């Protein structure tokens, strides 16, 4: 992007944020730490969050969410938007208190929402009303759904859930395992797949790279394989190295850029393929 276009975009973002800031913002200290002469990734992320908060979804209290295919697509788009917004807000709050592991976990959740969008857009899933119905009214959006099912089965039968029972549950509720809907993202974008693997290590504490990255950025060179007093003290004090703060905010901003284009494909109101049909539907309901 040329400098004049970049300056124009930054001016628009700044003006937009001054009139409509997001409900939860980065602290001034965080914003200052990650700013550069070219751009401020914190401001760019806040701009996209504000767009999420004002996204022109039809008022859901006037919509049945499920009466037909377009209606169901709108319901799922709304659910996706709400969950992504919650994860981004968690990311911002953790950034403000210097909680690096919390930022990493929130970012992994943001990437999972992006992956779920890719899952919906692949293999004609948006045209399968039965699938959309099970996704929305089943447990596809419930965190740890498979864990709960397998735990109950183990307690009741005293053994792991067999494969045929798993397939039955999947067909009944359509709860895709994370590895299933992440697969489409890995196919579409290797860069997004790398980000997902990087921030997955915050969710699984057995992996050591987040700590190694932290110690390297903080200049800690006396760490053992088991413990580092300075590392744990910096975590307690919320002293996240500026290098990691800037990297993670940049990654979150990149994630939202990827996510937005996918969400607009899922939301039928902004889908050119069915735009006229949706507008006709709205006019019938007196909503335009």
Check residue 170 and give its pLDDT: 74
Residue 263, class by beta-carbon neighbours within 10 Å (0-12 exposed, 13-18 middle, 19+ buried)? buried
Q: pLDDT tens digits for 60-82?
A: 444 455 556 667 788 888 888 88
In angstroms, the CA 272 to CA 135 distance is 23
Check residue 61 and give its pLDDT: 46
Q: pLDDT tens digits for 209-239?
A: 787 888 888 888 776 666 678 887 888 888 8
In angstroms, the CA 106 to CA 110 distance is 6
Return the DSSP state at 19.
Answer: H
Give me the residues of the chain with pLDDT under 70, please: 1, 37, 55-70, 138-145, 173-177, 204-208, 223-227, 269-275, 277-288
Residues sharing a CB contact under 8 Å with residue 13, sequence separation 6 or more, in sequence order: 43, 44, 47
Residue with the two structure tokens 């980000």:
195
Check residue 30 and give its pLDDT: 93
In angstroms, the CA 230 to CA 239 distance is 11
pTM: 0.77
């Amino acid at each position: 992007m040329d400098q004049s276009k970049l300056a124009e975009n930054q001016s628009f973002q700044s003006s937009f944020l001054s009139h409509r800031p997001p409900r939860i913002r980065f602290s001034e200290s965080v914003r200052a730490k990650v700013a550069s002469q070219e751009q401020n990734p914190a401001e760019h992320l806040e701009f996209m969050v504000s767009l999420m908060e004002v996204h022109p979804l039809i008022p859901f209290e006037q919509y049945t969410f499920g009466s037909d295919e377009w209606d169901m697509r709108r319901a799922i788009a709304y659910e996706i938007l709400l969950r992504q917004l919650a994860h981004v807000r968690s990311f911002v709050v953790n950034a403000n208190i210097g909680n690096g592991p919390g930022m990493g976990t929130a970012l992994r959740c943001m990437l999972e929402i992006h992956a779920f969008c890719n899952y919906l857009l692949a293999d004609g899933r948006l045209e399968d009303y039965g699938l959309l119905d099970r996704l929305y009214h089943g447990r596809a959006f419930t965190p740890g759904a498979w864990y709960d099912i397998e735990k109950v089965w183990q307690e009741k039968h005293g053994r792991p859930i067999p494969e045929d029972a798993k397939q039955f549950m999947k067909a009944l509720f359509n709860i895709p395992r994370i590895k299933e809907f992440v697969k489409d993202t890995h196919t579409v974008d290797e860069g997004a797949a790398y980000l997902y693997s990087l921030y997955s290590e915050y969710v699984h504490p057995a992996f050591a790279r987040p700590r190694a990255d932290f110690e390297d950025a903080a200049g800690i060179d006396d760490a053992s394989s088991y413990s580092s007093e300075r590392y744990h003290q910096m975590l307690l004090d919320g002293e996240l190295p500026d290098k990691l703060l800037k990297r993670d905010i940049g990654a979150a901003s990149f994630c939202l850029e990827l996510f937005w284009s996918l969400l607009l494909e899922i939301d039928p109101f902004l889908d050119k393929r069915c735009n006229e049909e949706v507008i006709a539907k709205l006019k019938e309901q007196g909503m335009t």
